[in-house]
Amino acid sequence: MRKIRSLNTKLLLFLSFFFFLLNTKLIVSLSPDGLSLLSLKSAVDQPDGDNPFSDWNEDDPTPCKWTGISCMNVTGFPDPRVVGIAISGKNLRGYIPSELGTLLYLRRLNLHSNNFYGSIPADLFNATSLHSLFLYGNNLSGSLPPSICNLPRLQNLDLSNNSLSGSLPENLNNCKQLQRLILSRNKFSGEIPAGIWPELDNLVQLDLSDNEFTGSIPNDLGELKSLSNTLNLSFNQLSGRIPKSLGNLPVTVSFDLRNNNLTGEIPQTGSFANQGPTAFLNNPLLCGFPLQKSCKDSSQSSPASQNSPQESNSNNSLKKGLSSGLIILISVVDAFGVAFIGLVIVYFYWKKKDDSNGCSCTGKTKFGGNEKHRACALCSCVNGFSNEDSEAEDIEKAATERGKGDGELVAIDKGFSFELDELLRASAYVLGKSGLGIVYKVVLGNGIPVAVRRLGEGGEQRYKEFVAEVQAIGKVKHPNVVKLRAYYWAPDEKLLISDFISNGNLAYALKGRSGQPSPSLSWATRLRIAKGTARGLAYLHECSPRKFVHGDVKPSNILLDNEFQPHISDFGLSRLINITGNNPSSSGGFIGGALPYLKSVQSERTNNYRAPEARVPGNRPTQKWDVYSFGVVLLELLTGKSPELSPTTSNSIEIPDIVRWVRKGFEEENTLSEMVDPALLQEVHAKKEVLALFHVALACTEADPEVRPRMKNVSENLERIGA
């Protein structure tokens, strides 16, 4: 009996040892890179829902088929080596294991938008092939390890939206290849180190916003000559004057220095001239253009500007030498003199305007088919500023001359004159119908086609308001903007007459009847469309009388002529529709003659191109809305993909799929052939041009509107591509 028990015991031990050896053999069969990756699996709490580690099996020979892992064959190694880890947005909770530093061929580590906690292990930077590290949107804490610049190929470092603290390493200048340094929304403190920035001559993006940095802005930040888009130092505790050296940065760079304690006058040299007031807001002691705060007023109220004791004594003695009555008499005389001079100036000003029949621009030209309907021609936009006619006077004149209850056809543009009967007798057919009115193509007696939009029938009590809007639209003159030529007003009929653009719109050119892009949309043509559209939008934003916001930029509102030059349509119509009582909705892009080739084009969803903040009810349109929409159009030009919306949302705000898809492609370093429109693959040889256009599009589609560039800067960047 004892022998049987002993035999059974030996048999159990043998079987246990056998299975141990078997399991050991299975684990050892996994490649070294796979064993290192298992440390990440064990460091993460297993999620309740979608588990990205469900196919990370120990019995696989390599990890190359595991979710989120990419590999590449390397000379001298029998097995492929791990070059990429991309597991983002999975709500993973755990820590980053130091064993990942043994992945010597790892190039990209992308763990953003999870719940990783703890510090960034210094041993991670033993993976010396790393050039892209995306850990933003986690709960990481601790300091930024100085060994991070042991990575000789590091190009992209995004650690934003964590709880990292401490000061910036003094040896950041060793990151010679660094292109993007994004450390926003952390708890970094201390001064921004000086002396390191001139050596980062590849840096194109620097974002240190929303931290606890103190001290002054380093002068040598102005030596970042490769910087583009935005220099973001906002929401810190920086103090002192703004260095004039920042004016040496490229003119395309937008500053964001909001919410600091900066003082003194804003420099007016170099790239400072291109900055708007939002770049400097919430710095109480900052003054000068473009802020609406005079430095003279600031100096008078600041302690440093107070009179010295000697000056105070001198002023006091002077006051003592003058009687109070004499002082009052001098003040009254001064006031009377100023008032008299003001009256003289006003008199001559109005006399000059009376002599010029109400036209306030020099070099003006009278036009129109009827002497009763004369008006001033639009003054040209020079150096970004427009000389405007007096709108109020034009409106008053038109209102006075308008017959009660009678309709009037008023020519806006010089040399464009025809009678109402001619318009009504002309051959016409419907181009389309939408919430912004029915649009017809009308061929006049001289053979010239025009587009006529019929608006609502109401609004007869708001005539002056209607004319003000129409005249503002009519003053826009740019080769890439559809020109409004005339308008017709009657109590029961309102018409807008504009140029007819004969070659349809960009939406049809991209999709056509077959869903495929037009063969004429070559790379050169797409670049021409992008540049022309940017020029037109920049003009509307910077030069037009009203500094227009389009509010509905999309391919169906970009009309194309026979040379595929773009013409922006449908700007400024929403207020007109509101005045005339129509119900504004997506226009389908018919003004100016964009043909309604497809119902799918007509029913194009506006939200696909609108900025995230534009989808929040109650928000008023801004120029940055147009910048975002234009960026989505650029991505569609590049990829050939429509910006469909995903059923999922982020913080109740939808982001077009195309934006997420392209950003993910760049993070994972997908090849251009995976992202560019297949119709372009056989002809696109200028890789740098394509990449440059992608970067412009991504800058335009930043989620934060303050980070997006101005349309003027976008246009300047595009003009450099292929030049």
The set of catalytic residues is: 552
Identify which of 559, 535, 551 has the alpha carbon closest to the alpha carbon of residue 483: 559
Count, in order, helices (H) and strands (E) of the chain.
16, 28
What whole-number distance in Å separates Cα of residue 351 and Cα of residue 538? 36
What whole-number distance in Å separates Cα of residue 239 and Cα of residue 596? 57
Contact 375, 474 (CB under 8 A): no
Contact 178, 203 (CB under 8 A): yes
What whole-number distance in Å separates Cα of residue 373 and Cα of residue 367? 8
Bridge partners for 110 per DSSP: 86, 134
Identify which of 384, 332, 395, 323 has the alpha carbon closest to the alpha carbon of residue 358: 395
What whole-number distance in Å separates Cα of residue 271 and Cα of residue 244? 10
Cis peptide before 290 (omega within 30 of 0): yes
Contact 115, 138 (CB under 8 A): yes
Contact 233, 207 (CB under 8 A): no
What whole-number distance in Å separates Cα of residue 296 and Cα of residue 550? 37
Report CA 113 to chain centroid distance, whole Å: 22
Question: Alpha carbon of 92 to those of 53, 101, 391: distances in Å?
Answer: 11, 20, 60
State whether residue 560 is helix, strand or coil: strand
Rg of the Cα trace of the chain? 33
Neighbours of 4 (CB within 10 A): 8
Place of tokens 């910087």: 227
44 phi and psi angles, rounded to 5 deg: -115, 135
Bridge partners for 265 per DSSP: 287
Bridge partners for 505 per DSSP: 559
261 phi and psi angles, rounded to 5 deg: -120, 40
What whole-number distance in Å separates Cα of residue 7 and Cα of residue 180? 68
Neighbours of 336 (CB within 10 A): 10
What whole-number distance in Å separates Cα of residue 573 and Cα of residue 678? 36
> Which helix (H) or strand (E) covers residue 637, if one does?
helix 623-639
- Cα-Cα-Cα-Cα torsion 324, 326, 330, 332, nearest 10 degrees, comes to 70
What percent helix, strand, coil does the chain show, rounded to 5? Answer: 40, 15, 45
Q: Which residues contact 211 (CB under 8 A, 6 or more apart)?
A: 183, 184, 185, 186, 187, 188, 189, 235, 236
Query: How would DSSP label each residue in 53-67?
Result: TTT--TTSS-STTST
What whole-number distance in Å separates Cα of residue 378 and Cα of residue 475? 5
State whether residue 102 is helix, strand or coil: helix
Place of tokens 């251009």: 672
What whole-number distance in Å separates Cα of residue 398 and Cα of residue 375? 9
Identify which of 425, 429, 426 has the alpha carbon closest to the alpha carbon of residue 439: 429
